[in-house]
Structures are given as C-alpha cells and as structure tokens.
Structure 1
Amino acid sequence: MAVPIGGMFATDKLIWHFSSTGQFTAKSCYHALLTHRTFSRGMESGGAASSSGESTRRWKFIWKLSIPPKVRIFLWRACSDILPTNVELFRRGISPSPFCRYCPDKCETTQHVLQFCHGMQAVWNSPPFNLPNMVTFPSFWSCLVYLRENLEQGLFLLATIVIWKTWDLRNRRLHGNEQNGNQGVVSWSGAFLHSFNSAIMSAHQPPTRAFSTTWSPSSDPRYCQD
C-alpha cells in the first residue's frame, strides 16, 4: 500500500520484463522464446515445464557419467533436442521433409533414430539389455531416465556409448558410407568402453620407479675401508 503508483501527470512507458534493465534486447528475446518453447513441449508431453534448475541438474547428471567427454556432450545435445534430425531441419526450413529416409512412414526424431531405426529396436530387446517394453518416449531425456532406472550402472554406461555410436552410424549412412544396420554396435561399444576404462585406470596408477630406492653397500673393493 505504501508503494507510490504515480500521479495523474505521470506518463506511461514500455517495459520489457524479460531483461533486468527493462530494455528490449535480441538476447533476452531469444531466451524468452526458447523458454516458451521448452514450456510448451513440457506441457504437451504431460510433464512439468523445464526450469533452469532442472536443466542444470540434467547437465550435472550427464557430466558425472564415467564416459568420454564427447559422448557426454552428445547426450546433452540430444537431451536439448538440437541434433540435426529431419524433424528439426524441417522445422527450420532446411530439410524438405520431416520423415525418415529409411522408414518413410515415420518422422525422423531423435528418439526414432536411437530407438527404432535400422534395427535398433532389436538391439534394445536383445541381450545384454533385454528391454522389450521400450516405447516411443516424449523426449530423449525420458528415454535416458528409463535406461538409467532399468539397467545396472555398467549396462547403462554401455547404453550411452551405443546411443552415441548409433548416431555416428546414421551420419555415415547419410553421407554414403553404407552400414549393414546396427547389429554390431553393441560389441563395438563394449570394446570402446573397455578401452576408455583401461586408459582411465592407467592414468590413476602411481608411476613405477625406474631404479631402486633402497641403499646397499657396494661390493667394489675400491670403496671398502678397513
């Protein structure tokens, strides 16, 4: 009640409440539109809108995973829905169609590439994952949470490598380096993860000394004294 609201001669002025100064900037406008888009997607998927705190927690969760940094960055890009799928490129007016070139009746979303396309559904349904009930998730983050909750730690880390390699194989096919599906992606990913873990363990082992640190008297008579 004590806050003055201005007199009758006060003039109105425009305030851009998305910036701290009240002035319009392209940067604040971009962030406002991005926040609105994230909120709309969260409501459409039946979940709560993503906040900056939730986004930070997701990034911390991904960054703590014991996998190569390039795989973490890829997972973050996938969770942020910024991978150049046909759906995203079509939305930006770059691609003429949002549909998958290998599955003409399906839109090429991140989830479609990593869950179903080129035999990926069989990969998830088979050992070592054995996940027959995977469905089309509303977001890649939901898919990642599902894998974390249904796989033990070692298999979950393997799944993240499989996801990263699957996208790499998709790009190779896109550029003419044809691959016979994704049948060997699990074995390749397992060997890759094993090599990474071995390198990490070697880096943490203390260096071995090239010479002995214990002293012993010399047997050379020149150095012996009566």
Structure 2
Amino acid sequence: MWKLKVPNKVKLLLWRACTDSLPTMSNLFKKNIVPDCTCYHCMKESETILHTLWTCEKIRQVWLNEFHDLHNSGQSITLFVELVDVVQVRHRNLGLFAMICWSIWNRQNKSRMGEHVVPLDPLFEFAGKLLAEFQQAQKVSPKPVRSTRPRWKRPDLGSRYQGSSDKLSRGNYGSFVRKVSMPSSIVLLETLAARRAVVFIQELGFCGSIFEALYRVFQFVILSGKMILQNFHADIVVPYTI
C-alpha cells in the first residue's frame, strides 16, 4: 500500500479506510456524535466505509468503467480491507483504485458542505487524469539547487588555537594546556590564546601559518606583540567581526 505511486494523501485515505478509521456516519454514530447512521447520499443503508466507497448505488456508475466485473461478481465482501485484498489478487490497478476512492470521498465531503463538486459521470476520468499527472510529475526529477554562498574550508596546513577558562591554545602539530584565571572578557581570553598560539608555532620552527579569528582579537595581538611577529608571516582569515 505504501509503495503505491500515488499522492501521500491518497495512501493515507486508503490506510484509514482499511483500518476503519474514516469518519463515516456509522463510525460517528458509534461514538454518539450523530443521531443516525443512514447514508447521506442514498438515504437507504448505513454509511459504512465499504458502503460509501463501493456499494452505494449513487456511486455505482463510477466503478463500472474499470472494475465492473469485480463490482458485479456478487462476491461476498463485508469489509473494505477485504475488497483491497481482492483488487490486489486480481492484479488490478490498485493505484487507480485508491485514487478513485479518494475522489469519491473528497467529492462526498464537499457535497455535504455545499461546495462545487465534480459530477459522478466523469469522476472516473477525473481520477485517472489526476493519477497520470502525478506519476508524470514524479518522472521529472528537479535539478538540485546549488548554493552560491561561500563555505568555509579548513586549511590543509596551518595552526588553530582555542581559548577557554582552562585551555589556552591548541595546534595541529601538538597541544598544550595551561590553566589561567578567567580574564575580564571573552575577547581578552581569545587574544591571550591567539598570542600564545603565535609563540607556540614559532617555538616549533614554523615561519608562517594561517589563523582564523575575530578581527578585533588579531588587532590586539598585532598591536601588543609586534616583537613576536618579527620575521614571521601570518595569513589571517576573518569569518566575521564583532
């Protein structure tokens, strides 16, 4: 049922019909919601799911186009789920069957609300057209939309640092931890970590590196540590400013 090539709303209706969970007059009557369970359309029989979608004389003509032999076979069917099993066993078009059921149910609900509805005579063609349009639309796969926004990519070589209340800096080629008292601001903490990262990679013998940090942080590093940056090349990547 769930693998049918029909809209999801049609699959849901078919599942609810098979589990007897549609709000037919019979089900509403059982819950004391309505005083009578008589079919709203034929005014003769109790409106069960099987009746409203299959056996009601008002919709008989809809099924005579494609399912006339099954409808006139006289086979004893008491539940809608049994009807679905019979349709599957006889290798009928279950997708078209489900679409017709949805069209009937949708038409009857609109009719009760006084809305404009499709006449019963062309309802079979109407359901078939909806199914064909849906299946044709599924064959045309939309082209994926590629984002034009630049995405950050981690440098292949370089150094990274991180500042927190107990970790001062970290590099790709080694790491160390130094506990410090919490500075007065996050920017100051990041500045200390960035400055120590420059010293750290100089100690490792590198003459250049790539940094990613807040612009204000590296302003502080450059202004307060010009001596540290002598004979040292650093490319600064600034993702955003504060």
TM over 0.5: yes
- Cα distance in 1, alignment partners of residues 80 and 3 from structure 2: 18
Matched, 1:126 2:78: no
Change (3 A) 1:176 1:169: same
1:159 matched to 2:110: no
Structure with bigger gyration radius: 2
Q: C-alpha distance in 2, partners of 1:87/1:128?
A: 25
Larger relative helix fraction:
1
C-alpha change, 1:161 and 1:90, in structure 2 (3 Å) is same
Determine the structure 1 residue equivalent to 2:115: 177
Please name the residue that 1:116 is paired with.
55
Offset at residue 159 of structure 1 (A):
1.2
Between the aligned partners of 1:103 and 1:135, the Cα distance in structure 2 is 22
Shift of 1:125: 2.7
More strand by share: 2
5+ long unaligned stretches in structure 1: 1-61, 208-226
Shift of 1:120: 2.2
1:95: Cα distance to partner? Answer: 0.7
Q: How many Å apart are 1:102 and its aligned residue?
A: 2.3
Residues 67-78 of structure 1 correspond to what in structure 2 (within 5 A)?
67-78=6-17
In 1: Cα distance, 2:3 partner to 2:104 partner: 22
Give structure 2 stretches of 5+ with no counterpart.
Answer: 146-242
State TM-score, norm by structure 1: 0.57
2:5: which partner in 1?
66
What TM-score, normalized by structure 2, do the two folds share? 0.53
| 2:58 aligned counterpart, secondary structure | helix
Secondary structure of the residue aligned to 1:166 is: helix
- The sequence identity of aligned pairs, in percent, is 28
Q: 1:198 to 1:115 in 2, by over 3 A?
A: same
Q: How many residues align?
A: 144
Matched with 1:188 is: 126
TM-fit CA distance, 1:190? 1.0
Q: How far does residue 108 in structure 1 lie from its aligned partner after superposition?
A: 0.3
